Amino acid sequence: MRFQPIKQFNTILQQEYLEPTISWSIRVVLALNVPLIVFPLFSGFSYHIIWAAFSAYMLTLIDYRGSHYKKMLIQMVEAFLILIAAILGMNIGNSVALSVIGMLVIGVFAALIRNWSDYGSTIGVGVGFFYLFGISNPTSFTESLVYGKYILFGAVWAIAIIFLSFPFSASNPLRRSVATIWKRNTDYLDALIEQFLKPAAKADLLKITAKEIEIRSAVDKSIELFNRRSEDSRFQAEHYDQMIEIRKSAAYFGASIKLLHEELESIKNEPVLLQNQSIFYKTLSALSQASARLSIVIFTFRGEDLTMAKVRIKRFEIAAGILKKNLQHQELSEDHKLILNQFIVSLNQCQQFMENTIRLMDQKLSFKRSNYFENYKLSFNHFIAGLQPRVLFQVVREIFNFDSQQFKYALRVGLGLALSVFIFKFFKIDHGHWIALTLLIVIQPYYGATRKKGFERIIGTIAGILVGGTIMLLPIKHETFVVILIFISFFVAYYLRNNYKVGVFFVTIMLVVMMQLSKQGSWELIWWRVLSTLIGSALAIVISFAFWPIWEKQRFPALLNSSLNQNLFFLNQVILSYQKKLPPGITWHKSRRLSEAANNNLFACIQRMYEEPQAHQRQIDIHFAKVGSNIRISREITSLAFALEKETSGKLEQVLNEYMEAIQIIFYRFIQQQKEMDFKPVKTVIQNPVFEENEQFQAIQVDLEKIVFELEALKAFRG
């Protein structure tokens, strides 16, 4: 058994391949602390330097996982926005009315930016922070330009850090996104093993569904950052194209795991599973270990890791062979034979996708390393191509639709921030801008998330105040405080990604230390900070509850209809693909992605519903059951798609046409919320004698029956 600390250290290193939190934290440390150390060497320490440090800090916090080109462009945009916000704040800070109006506008703008993307939150908070920093330090226009100069110094330093890190992480973003998909596949497999093959494990449907959903999220995130090149692209990017193919194999591997999940569900608690539990466990464990090895080798590109991955895949092949041989010598019912045959088919598909990945990796290792840099050119050009007037017009139109949830959320944030600035300015609260800043950080589009984050921020702030205040009372030199700040800023960046409550704890300590560095620290000021946090968090929770709250029970019906609609479209595309009626270049794969994305949205709705007040959680268990049925429908259609790809006789064309005609009527009745549904026509189609010709047709028949069964379950849930 390995020594536990070494095992934990290895886990951290492997995680760093996929989520480079440590390297990101180091960049944040450099961004914040270099200005605090370098500037005083030339001009002595001044309050202006704090602005440069915070500027670099905010820009480096941008959590964008794509190319360096785009990240630098995003940083430039944020630098311009925070510069304008800071100068505006400093010039109107003496007027309560103008400060409140400015905060309303800035708040709405920041909230709209926040919802654009994962990194939009950092930009929105940065703009709001520097506006609040500005109205807290009102000054003349000339002096505000001096502060603006230091903001730009910090921005240049933050962009320089990204530029200088480019040679050390060439090709990492795309590889990391693909490796993450394999890691999510592994996590899902581990959850299946725990759910079905460990008797002592407690069933947790929410957890295992979340693991399934995470695969689609990882695939979508990778596609969002890195698209497939067009065939007429003028770039020769062999590395890029190979990674896109590896991503495709990873996505198909994930789809095959979902089919394994479906078959395990079918034999759960059955004697055949209980009697063969050990061999099932060894087989799926070997599959999980092979998947985990692939996630590592895709990022590291080391020959020894590739060898280990090949060994793991061979071990899985042996384990799967033993399972197949054992099952062949057992007396099983016809139903169990069919289910287990599909299970073996899905295992074989998993092996094919892993071997295909290994083959692509072998080819990729033989390419010239100079091609590593091409994917950044491609990513940048994809980004520029995305800035089309038509697309931008659609985004702007959606944002400023007064009935949209985005606009209501933005208005809620703007009104809350305006109220908090009024309290701060009217009552002349010392450093009262922390009220508005806390509200800006805590308030989320959904009430449950706001309440959770508010309580976490209160706990983290109070704990941080106690520790930070104790540090402030120690007889420590200025240089020692800088050293402390270096370590604390690392933990801030690291834990804000991994544990928000702990991250807030270190943020609070960092702010206390920075106040001490700027000679503004006192216990009175610290307790004002605690009070401001309490007021800001309370305001965020109250405003989220009182002003146009978004309750998930109201959103659920529309999301359910969207999921049903996408599943129907997916099924139709699969059948048209079998009949060779799809247009050239069109496959069912995109419709599967859309179907799973709709299921993701539906599941996320349920997750947020669990965080809402009890009064808004009516029928939550029934809603969750409906989500499960939709996800299983998507799984069955995927299974059907793989099965039909292997069927080349064309004998099922007519019966599939009849099936589609009958089942789409049921889907439409669900979407239109009609009560009367007749399942007899579609069940009659499924009993067509053509399905009895061979085992392959029987497996397809089972997939069609399971889709109907889940629709019947949905009808039963409706009561």
Q: What would the 3-class secondary structure string for 111-152 be? A: HHHHCCCCCHHHHHHHHHHHHHHHHCCCCCHHHHHHHHHHHH
On the CB side of 120, CA atoms within 13 Å amount to 11
CA distances from 144 to 44, 389, 421, 461, 616 (A): 20, 35, 20, 31, 48
496-501's contacts with Cβ under 8 Å and 24+ in sequence apart are: 496/61, 497/19, 497/21, 497/24, 497/63, 498/21, 500/453, 500/456, 500/457, 500/460, 501/456, 501/457, 501/459, 501/460
Q: What is the pLDDT of residue 651?
A: 93
CA angle 488, 494, 496 (to 5 degrees): 100
**CATH number belonging to the domain at 552-718, selected among 1.20.58, 1.20.120, 1.10.3470, 1.10.10:** 1.20.58
- pLDDT at residue 376 greater than cutoff 60: no
Q: Is 613 left (phi over 0), alpha (psi -120 to 50) or beta?
A: beta
Per-residue confidence band for 200, with pLDDT thresholds at 50, 70 and 90: low
- pLDDT at residue 171 greater than cutoff 50: no
Distance from C-alpha of 414 to C-alpha of 109, rounded to nearest angstrom: 8
Q: Tell me the angle at which helices 447-473 and 523-546 cross, rounded to the nearest 10 degrees.
A: 180
Cα 692 → chain centroid: 44
Per-residue confidence band for 462, with pLDDT thresholds at 50, 70 and 90: confident
Q: What is the pLDDT of residue 719?
A: 62
Contacts of 494 (CB under 8 A, 6+ apart): 21, 22, 25, 503
Of the candidate ranges 27-31, 170-174, 481-485, 632-636, the one whose mean pLDDT is the lowest: 170-174
Cα 29 → chain centroid: 25
Q: Using alpha carbons only, how large is the chain's radius of gyration in Å?
A: 28
| Three-class secondary structure assignment of 390-445 | HHHHHHHHHHCCCCCHHHHHHHHHHHHHHHHHHHHHHCCCCCCHHHHHHHHHHCCC
Q: What are phi and psi of 45, to 5 degrees?
A: -80, 135
Q: What is the pLDDT of residue 580?
A: 92
Q: What are phi and psi of 688, to 5 degrees?
A: -55, 135
> Using an 8 Å Cβ cutoff, are 460 and 508 in contact?
yes
Average pLDDT over residues 69-94: 93
- Report which DSSP code applies to 228: P
Contacts of 581 (CB under 8 A, 6+ apart): none
Distance from C-alpha of 58 to C-alpha of 76, rounded to nearest angstrom: 12
What is the residue-averaged pLDDT of the chain? 84
Going by C-alpha positions, the residue among 3, 149, 9, 21 that lies closest to residue 498 is 21
How do residues 276-289 score in pLDDT, each as one tens digit? Answer: 888 999 999 999 99
Contacts of 258 (CB under 8 A, 6+ apart): 212, 635, 638
- pLDDT at residue 22 greater than cutoff 90: no
Average pLDDT over residues 533-562: 88
CA distances from 245 to 17, 34, 175, 178 (A): 20, 42, 12, 10
The percentage of the chain sitting over the pLDDT mark of 70, rounded to a whole number, equals 86
Q: What is the pLDDT of residue 323?
A: 92
Per-residue confidence band for 469, with pLDDT thresholds at 50, 70 and 90: confident
In the chain, CATH 1.20.58 sits at 552-718
Q: What is the pLDDT of residue 553?
A: 87
- pLDDT at residue 392 greater than cutoff 70: no
Q: What is the pLDDT of residue 477?
A: 81
On the CB side of 371, CA atoms within 13 Å amount to 14
Distance from C-alpha of 541 to C-alpha of 451, rounded to nearest angstrom: 6
Average pLDDT over residues 188-217: 85
Q: What is the pLDDT of residue 251?
A: 94
Q: What is the pLDDT of residue 163?
A: 82
Of the candidate ranges 189-193, 375-379, 657-661, 675-679, the one whose mean pLDDT is the lowest: 375-379
- pLDDT at residue 170 greater than cutoff 70: no
Distance from C-alpha of 711 to C-alpha of 398, rounded to nearest angstrom: 33
How do residues 505-545 score in pLDDT, each as one tens digit? Answer: 888 888 777 766 665 556 677 778 788 888 988 999 899 88
Q: What is the pLDDT of residue 534?
A: 87
DSSP, collapsed to helix, strand or coil, labels residue 25 as: helix
> Using an 8 Å Cβ cutoff, are 465 and 530 in contact?
yes
Contacts of 648 (CB under 8 A, 6+ apart): none
Q: What is the pLDDT of residue 59?
A: 94
